[in-house]
Chains A and B, each alone.
Chain A
C-alpha cells in the first residue's frame, strides 16, 4: 500500500457503507411498521446476534469487499522491490492498463495484439459456447420439465449430476485422451481408414472448445429445467389447440416464460467459460489464446502482481458488463438469476 491516507480510505470506505447500510435497515424497519419494529439484538438474543454480525461482517468485509478493493488499488500501482514500496516512486499509475493495450509501459506506438486478441477471442468464444450450450440443453430441459414421467425424470436427473462429481481437470483430461494426436478419435478414424495421418485436434482448438462446451452443461440444464417446470401444461395445450406450430409454441410461449431460467443459465455458463483456467491449460495447444492463463502467467511467471490485478479487473469488468447486458435484454433481476 502506497501511503497511509489511501490505505485508511480503503479500509474506512466499506465501514462507512456498512454504517449507512445499518441506518438504511433501521429506517426501512421503522417504515415497515409496528410489527417489524423489534430490534435486531432483541429479535435474535445477544448470543445469536453477535454470531450473525461477526459472521456476516467477516464474510462481507474480509472476504468479499476488502480483497476486491485491494485488487483494484493494486492494479494502479507499479511493480517495485519491497524496499521501495510505499516510497516516493510508488504512485498511482495507469501503466498496467497501458501494458495490456500497447504491450509496453512507455512506448505507445504498437498494440499488444497477443493479449488483446486473446481477450476478444475469449469473450467471443465464450458467447458462442454459451449459445451452443443453450441450444444443446433446451430440448432436454423441456423434455424433462414437461414430457418425462416422474420415474424417468429422477433417473435423468441422477445421470446428469454424476459427471459433475469428477473434477474439472479430470474432465479436461478425458477430452485430451479423446482428441490427442494418439488419442481415441484419431485411432478409430485411422482404424476405419477414414484418414491416413492423425488430425491435430488440440492445435485446432477443437478439443478445447468441445471440453468447454462439455464442462458447464449442468449449469445450463438446471436453471432451464426449473423455469420450464413451473409452466402450466395447459398453456402449451391451448397454443397447440389454437393451431400453433411447435416452433411457435417454444418461441412465443415456453421461452418467454422461461426467461429468468435462460438468463440465469446463460450468465452462469458465460462467467464460468470466460473465467475457466483448467480447460485452457490442459486442452490449449501451443498457439491457443485464452485470457485466464495470461492472467495466471502475469502472476506466477512474470511475478508482476500489479499487472496481474489489472488484467483480472479487465476480465471482471467484462463479466459484469455481460451480466448487466443479459439482465437488460431479459429484463430480469439479480435475485432471479442466482436463484
Chain B
C-alpha cells in the first residue's frame, strides 16, 4: 500500500472512532429505551417494548416540566431576539474604545459560567422586588429563569445579527430615505426583511438553548420546575429506561425540527442566490449600452 493509502486509511479510522465516541453513548441509550429490564440495559436484549414511552406520558411531573420549558423557551425567544437585535445595531453605530467597552459588557455573559448568571439574577431581583414591593408578582421562577437565560442567549442572538449586518448594504437604506421613507419605515421595510434569515436562526437557537439549559435555570427557577430540573432530579434518584425513552423522543423531535429548518434555510438561500443572479444580470444589462457607446 502506498504512503498516501496508509494516510487515508488512518484518517478514515480516526473519523470512525470519533463518531463512534459521539454516537455510541446515544445509540446505547436509545436501545435501552426499547428493552424490558427496569435497569437500562442493552445486553442481553430481552424483549422489544414500548411500555417506557407509555410510562412517560403518564408522568405528571415530567409533563409539567415539559410545558414550563416550552413556555420559558418562548418567553426567552421573545425577549432575547429583540435584545440581541438592538445590541447588534448599536454595535454597528459606535466606534473605537466605546465599542470595545460595550463589546466587553455585552459579550461577557457568553464567557461567564451559567451558574453565576443564575445566582446573580436571583440575588439582584430578590432585592429589587423587596424595594418595589412586587415580590408576589415578580419573584417567580418563570420570570427569573427567562431573565437569567436571556442574559447570555441575547448575546448569542447578537453575534448572529452582527454577522448578518456585516453584509448589509447601507445604499439600500439611503435609497429608501431618498424616496421619502421615515427612519422607522426603513427599519421595518428594509432592515428587518434583510435580517429575516438571521431572525429565524436566532429564534431557533434561542429556543433550543433555553430548552436544554440547566445550569442557569436550576438556580433561577426557584420552586417551579422545568424539563431539565425534573430530569436532573430523576436521574439522581436512579436510572430507569423511561429517561432513555424521553431522550429518544427529544432526539426524534429535534431531528425533525432540524430537517424542517434546513429545508427552509436552503429555500431561502436559493431565493437569495436567484436574486443575486438577477441583480448581476440587470447590472450587466445596464452597463452593456454604456460599453456599446464607448466602443462606438
Question: Footprint of B on A, CB under 8 Å?
Answer: 1, 21, 24-25, 28-29, 31-32, 36, 40, 43-48, 51-52, 55-56, 58-60, 62-68, 70-71, 74, 136, 139-140, 143, 147, 156, 158-163, 165-178, 180, 182-184, 187-188, 191, 214, 217, 267-268, 271-272, 274-278, 281-282, 292, 295-296, 299, 305, 308-309, 312, 315-316, 319, 323, 334-335, 337-339
Contact = CB atoms under 8 A, between A and B. Distances in A.
Contacts of A70: 120, 123-124, 127
Contact of B120 (A28, A67, A282): A67
A339 to B, nearest CB: 8
B236 interface: yes
B108 A64 contact: yes
Nearest to A140: B18
A167 B211 contact: yes
Contact of B147 (A63, A139, A308): A63
Nearest to A154: B262
Contacts of A29: 94-95
B293 interface: no
A170 B250 contact: yes
B247 A173 contact: yes
B97 to A, nearest CB: 6
A170 to B, nearest CB: 4
A64 B258 contact: no
Given A170-B243, A308-B119, A143 B106 contact: no
Most buried by A among B22, B85, B115, B228: B115
B50 interface: no
Contacts of A296: 115, 218-219
A79 to B, nearest CB: 13
Contacts of B86: 51-52, 55-56, 59
Contacts of B262: 158
A71 to B, nearest CB: 4
A96 to B, nearest CB: 13
A315 B182 CA distance: 49
9 contacts: A21-B102, A24-B101, A28-B97, A147-B11, A170-B250, A171-B26, A275-B215, A282-B236, A335-B107
Interface in B76-123: 82-83, 85-87, 89-90, 93-98, 100-117, 119-121, 123
A175 B25 contact: yes
Nearest to A170: B247
Interface stretch (B36-44, B53-61, B193-201, B275-283): B36-44
Interface residues of B, number: 91
Interface in B243-265: 243-244, 246-247, 250-251, 254-255, 258, 262
Nearest to B219: A299
Interface string B224-238: 000110011001100
B101 A56 contact: no
A316 B115 CA distance: 10
B231 A52 contact: no
B138 interface: no
Contact of A140 (B14, B115, B219): B14
B28 interface: yes
A178 B28 contact: yes
A333 B106 CA distance: 15
A319 B112 contact: yes
A316 B41 contact: no
B284 interface: no
Nearest to B117: A67
Nearest to A191: B43
Nearest to B31: A184
Contact of B113 (A68, A172, A316): A316
A63 B150 contact: yes
A55 B83 contact: yes
B26 A176 contact: no
Given A45-B184, A338-B111, A180 B103 contact: no
Given A52-B89, A165-B254, A271 B25 contact: no
